[in-house]
Each structure stands twice: as C-alpha cells, then as structure tokens.
Amino acid sequence: MGFETSNDRGAPAAGDEPLQPVKIVISGGFAVGKTTFVGSISEINPLTTEAAMTSASTGVDDTSKVQTKTHTTVAMDFGRISLGGGLVLYLFGTPGQARFQFMWDDLARGAIGAVVLVDTRRLADCFPAVDYFEQLGLPYIVAVNCFDGLQFHEQQAIREALSVPRDVPLVFCDARERTSTKESLIMLVEHALSRAE
C-alpha cells in the first residue's frame, strides 16, 4: 500500500464517497451461534474486539470502606457487509447475559435493530435480551437457531414458550447458512421500517 504524495488531481473516487456506517446487534445466550451467524454473511472473518470496562466493585467487602474498581474485559465479535454506495453494515455479536447490559446501551444507540438468537434447548437464555430491547423500544426479531429443522408443532410450542409480543417477528433459521442469515436480516430491517413511520 504505502504512502503517496497527496495530489488533488486524480484522487481515487472512493476517497470522496460519503460513507455511512450502520449496525445491527446480534444478541443471545452463551454459545447460541452468534459468531456463526455473523460469519455466515460477513465479508471479513469475524473479528473480536475487547471492550475494557471499569466499574465500581459491587462485591461484599466489609473489611474496607475504600471503593475498589474492577476491570472487566468483554469480547465482542463483529463482521462487516459493504452494501454499496458507501453504506457499510456492521453486525455486532454481544453476550446475552444480563450482566453485560452495560454494553448493549452503547451498541443499541443508533442501531437499526437487533436479532435475538435462540437455542431451542435453552430458550430462557434469550429473555434478558428480549426484555432489554423491548424496554428500549429497539426493533428486534427473535431468530431460533435450529439447524436440524423443526416440526411445525415444535415451532408452535417454541413460539408459545418464548411468549414474545405478537408483533415481534419470529423466524426459524440456520445460523450456518448465508441465505438463512440474509433472510433474518431482511426480516429485521423490514420490521424496523414498519416501525419507522
């Protein structure tokens, strides 16, 4: 690559292109397939960034009145999809446990919406994320990751067990499949559009 002397004439058009990043949050319980989901459609191999957080210790420490601080490092996987015309979509996978909610505030700001991934064996893992996005008013869909497929009656049972509001789209997906991931993302953006009026 290297540096070249700046020259107003003949600068690459790409350098003048207005850029617009957008993002979608991918949340869900531990090992539910968030990175797989992101990787199935990302144009780069999913990267892992570390957000170091400092927070006042909430531990019980009666021997000291001094407030201690703890440093927490949270790994976050993300991918990128260039959509043309300077539009770049980032997918951020974030841990779904309630104790990571401090990260969600940052990620949810300005986001198109969220995909809450669900493992059929651990349905309850998605509840903190669902509650959070519901409370925030961020558009979200629930995507049940079921790579072996499900019978219709199983789908109905899961839908009931999740008890998400009726206006929240629910999709059965295979996080390994690009087409499936693409459909989930389309469903989310359509849902966000329907609420953008």
Q: Cβ of residue 11: shortest distance to another protein, in angstroms? A: 8
Q: Which is nearer to another protein, 9 or 121 (CB)?
A: 9
- Which has the closest alpha carbon to 117: 194, 44, 40, 47? 40
Q: Is 114 in the site for another protein (CB under 8 A)?
A: no
Question: Looking at 41, 115, 129, 162, which residue binds another protein (CB under 8 A)?
Answer: 41
Q: Is 146 in the site for another protein (CB under 8 A)?
A: no
Max CA separation in the chain (angstroms): 68
Distance separating alpha carbons of residues 170 and 141, to the nearest angstrom: 6
159 in Cβ contact with 165 (< 8 Å): no
Question: Looking at 9, 10, 50, 65, which residue binds another protein (CB under 8 A)?
Answer: 50
Q: Cβ of residue 23: shortest distance to another protein, in angstroms? A: 5
67 in Cβ contact with 57 (< 8 Å): yes
Q: Which is nearer to another protein, 61 or 190 (CB)?
A: 190
Q: Which is nearer to another protein, 86 or 99 (CB)?
A: 86
Compute how many other C-beta atoms are within 10 angstroms of the C-beta atom of residue 148. 6
- Which token pair is 159? 């839908």
Distance separating alpha carbons of residues 111 and 177, to the nearest angstrom: 24
Q: Which positions lie near another protein, rule CB under 8 A?
A: 1, 3-6, 8, 11, 15, 18-23, 41, 47-52, 54, 73, 76, 78, 80-81, 83-85, 87-90, 92, 106-107, 109-110, 112, 182, 185-186, 189-190, 192-193, 196-197
